[in-house]
Amino acid sequence: MDARTERVAPWAYGWWVLVGALTGIGVAGALTVGAAFLALALVLAVVGVLVARLRNRSALGVVGGLAVAPLYVAWLNRGGPGRVCTVSATQTTCLDAWSPWPFLAVGLALVVGCAVLVGRPGHHQRQDH
């Protein structure tokens, strides 16, 4: 069986989605926690390349994992664009929010792109008759 026809365990996709998510968050948080996330993503990617059960089409999960950062930014800016205020019993806090739509579009494009890549014909186990 070659890499295109072998059956892939669901956890293998999860591994690569995690690598993609850590990479996306690491790039988004470059000046704060970014370096730690990128370092962890690099370690997991190297392990993924070295472990035979992870060296297959499940690596396409990275594309889906990259969606985590823009989807999170879209969620944080869900009240935007413009000034968004939160009122509690003791204080009012306001901040400027971006439009969530571009981030949502990028995140959804990455998720759909991952699904299309993984579901492409030729990426399922073949039955030879």
84-107: pLDDT as tens digits: 888 889 999 998 999 999 999 999
Q: Tell me the C-alpha distance between 51 and 59, whole Å.
A: 12
Percent of the chain with pLDDT over 90: 41
Give pLDDT, residue 31.
66
Q: Tell me the C-alpha distance between 125 and 121, whole Å.
A: 10
User: How sure is the predictor about 126, in pLDDT bands with cuts at 50, 70 and 90?
Assistant: very low
Q: Tell me the C-alpha distance between 16 and 13, whole Å.
A: 5
N-to-C CA span, the chain:
15
CB atoms within 10 A of CB 48: 21
Query: How distant is the alpha carbon of residue 62 from its chain centre?
Result: 6
